[in-house]
Amino acid sequence: MSDLYARHKAVLPDWLALYYEEPLEIIHGEGRHVWDADGKKYLDFFGGILTTMTAHALPEVTKAVTEQAGRILHSSTLYLNRPMVDLAEQIARLSGIPDARVFFTTSGTEANDTALLLATTYRRSNQILAMRNSYHGRSFSAVGITGNRGWSPTSLSPLGTLYVHGGVRTRGPFAHLSDADFIAACVEDLKDLLGHTRPPAALIAEPVQGVGGFTSPPDGLYAAFREVLQEHGILWIADEVQTGWGRTGDHFWGWQAHGACGPPDILTFAKGIGNGMSIGGVVARAEIMNCLDANSISTFGGTQITMAAGLANLTYLLEHDLQGNARHVGGLLAERLRTAAARLPGVREVRGRGLMIGVELVRPGTDEADPQAAAAVLEAARADGLLIGKGGGHNTSVLRIAPPLTLTVPEAQEGAAILERALRTVHE
């Protein structure tokens, strides 16, 4: 055990789990690569749980951050803040939400907390509809709407939560149905639930479940849900913490895969927008955002240095069409992995959208989740110079691939080759 690991264990919570038997200390990054404390280089297919949206040490972001740090490090929402207004204008425009207002936080959890505060206040109800197998953060209210048990340490909650079917297409009681029948069954389930409950404030959902293993419902599910929700005045909160900013390739936001539902009433974002700096936020129609009777409710949300980073990062993303790159390179990568998986034992499915690709592992010849294999693949890939993530509601048996969106085709091929070797090794 390294000295740093021993010190980590002695002073930090036991539940602050680390990847790898010998945990990794990353000290340097460039482009799609990172280096550990021993100087070993890795291709990064997980980008700090999707926080490195464009590239490690992107010069444009580094310049914006250092220039801002050299001018002033100051945080208060009580004064005018030019980078905050600049970034809010861009996000409001991109959100698709009419008459949008943007509120910045420092994390995805806090963004969802704020969304819940808005929805429960606006609707005068603390009942929330959430998806099974979901993940929305770690605050007291966010764990209460997180349907993924492994990530939800308490069942106590200030909210009454009802879990809806639909976030996971490939498992569960409706898995055998066609896409259209799956949607119809989930809608019936939702209607039935609404017949038995007090009026909920909102439905919160990740368009593609992230921690839950990169699973998406068939396109159109949320449009069908939306019709039912609107009949009851229930708001729809899209948690775009993992799916935003073009990562899913075909769309800038995950909700757009459900087209006809139109923009959500409330959208939350975080992770990639800061390229590693802590930015989260909420977008909502003015009518909803302004329902709170409050003074400023944040000190650090929208601090100048994070806003400067976010602006530089977003500008780069848009100018270089990284959504198009996610579609193109992600499509090639998923295709290659699908072809390889057909010849490998223990791969149940390769799925995903753009540069958000999941590889679900099962014990060969069965449909049983194989978390041991997932852990072993992570170790083997690391030894071979590739970092990936894992997740999934079924005992973390899904490999998660979410590289920075500037990933090149040769890098995608290199990573796929390492991953295929690791998958083969584990079953040898």
Q: Which is nearer to ligand PMP, 110 or 411 (CB)?
A: 110
State the pairing for strand pair 389-391/386-387: unpaired
Q: Which is nearer to ligand PMP, 142 or 337 (CB)?
A: 142
Residue whose entry in the numeric block shows the structure tokens 């290199």: 414
Binders of ligand PMP: how many residues, by CB under 6 A? 16
Other beta carbons within 10 Å of 258: 26
Our finding on whether 253 is near ligand PMP (CB under 6 A) is no
Q: Which residue is nearest to ligand PMP (CB)?
A: 108
Q: Which is nearer to ligand PMP, 136 or 336 (CB)?
A: 136
User: Could you tell me if 293 and 372 are in contact, meaning their C-beta atoms sit under 8 angstroms apart?
Assistant: no
Q: Which of 97, 159, 261, 270 is in the footprint of ligand PMP by CB under 6 A? A: 270
Q: Which of 109, 152, 256, 397 is in the footprint of ligand PMP by CB under 6 A? A: 109
Q: Which of 241, 257, 340, 362 is in the footprint of ligand PMP by CB under 6 A? A: 241
Our finding on whether 313 is near ligand PMP (CB under 6 A) is no
Query: What is the chain's length?
Result: 428
With DSSP H G I counted as helix, E B as strand and the rest as coil, what are the percentages for the chain, rounded to 5? 40, 20, 40
Q: What residues between 43 and 62 interact with ligand PMP by CB under 6 A?
A: 49
Least distance in angstroms from the C-beta of 114 to ligand PMP: 12
Residue 19: alpha-carbon gap to chain centroid: 18
| Residue 228, both tokens | 């039912």
Our finding on whether 136 is near ligand PMP (CB under 6 A) is yes
User: Could you tell me if 316 and 404 are in contact, meaning their C-beta atoms sit under 8 angstroms apart?
Assistant: no
Q: Which of 31, 47, 48, 137 is in the footprint of ligand PMP by CB under 6 A? A: 137
SS3 category, 299: coil
Give the residue from 425, 415, 390 showing the smallest Cα distance to 151: 390
Amino acid sitting at position 14: D
| Residue 261, both tokens | 């539902």
Q: Which is nearer to ligand PMP, 270 or 362 (CB)?
A: 270
Binding segment for ligand PMP (CB under 6 A), chosen from 234-242, 246-254, 303-311, 367-375, is 234-242
Q: Which is nearer to ligand PMP, 16 or 72 (CB)?
A: 16
Cβ-based neighbours of 39, under 8 Å, separated by 6 or more? none
Question: Which residues on adjacent β-strands are paired with residue 161?
Answer: 128
Q: Which of 211, 238, 381, 401 is in the footprint of ligand PMP by CB under 6 A? A: 211
Least distance in angstroms from the C-beta of 388 to ligand PMP: 16
Binding segment for ligand PMP (CB under 6 A), chosen from 203-211, 297-305, 341-349, 405-413, is 203-211
Q: Which of 31, 108, 346, 391 is in the footprint of ligand PMP by CB under 6 A? A: 108
| Residue 343, both tokens | 């010849």
Q: Which is nearer to ligand PMP, 242 or 397 (CB)?
A: 242
Q: Which is nearer to ligand PMP, 112 or 216 (CB)?
A: 112
Least distance in angstroms from the C-beta of 116 to ligand PMP: 12
Least distance in angstroms from the C-beta of 272 to ligand PMP: 11
Our finding on whether 218 is near ligand PMP (CB under 6 A) is no
Our finding on whether 265 is near ligand PMP (CB under 6 A) is no
Give the residue from 138, 320, 300 showing the smallest Cα distance to 245: 320
How many Å apart are CA 304 and CA 74, to the nearest integer? 7
- DSSP annotation of 53: -
Least distance in angstroms from the C-beta of 49 to ligand PMP: 6
Question: Which residues on adjacent β-strands are paired with residue 66?
Answer: none
Our finding on whether 125 is near ligand PMP (CB under 6 A) is no
Binding segment for ligand PMP (CB under 6 A), chosen from 22-30, 133-141, 153-161, 217-225, is 133-141
Q: Which is nearer to ligand PMP, 309 or 418 (CB)?
A: 309
What are phi and psi for residue 349, nearest 5 degrees?
-165, 145
Our finding on whether 242 is near ligand PMP (CB under 6 A) is yes
Q: How many CA atoms lie within 13 A of 199 on its CB side?
A: 15
Residue whose entry in the numeric block shows the structure tokens 């509809």: 129
User: Could you tell me if 306 and 278 are in contact, meaning their C-beta atoms sit under 8 angstroms apart?
Assistant: yes
Residue ranges that bind ligand PMP, judged by CB under 6 A: 49, 107-109, 112, 135-137, 206, 210-211, 239, 241-242, 270, 280
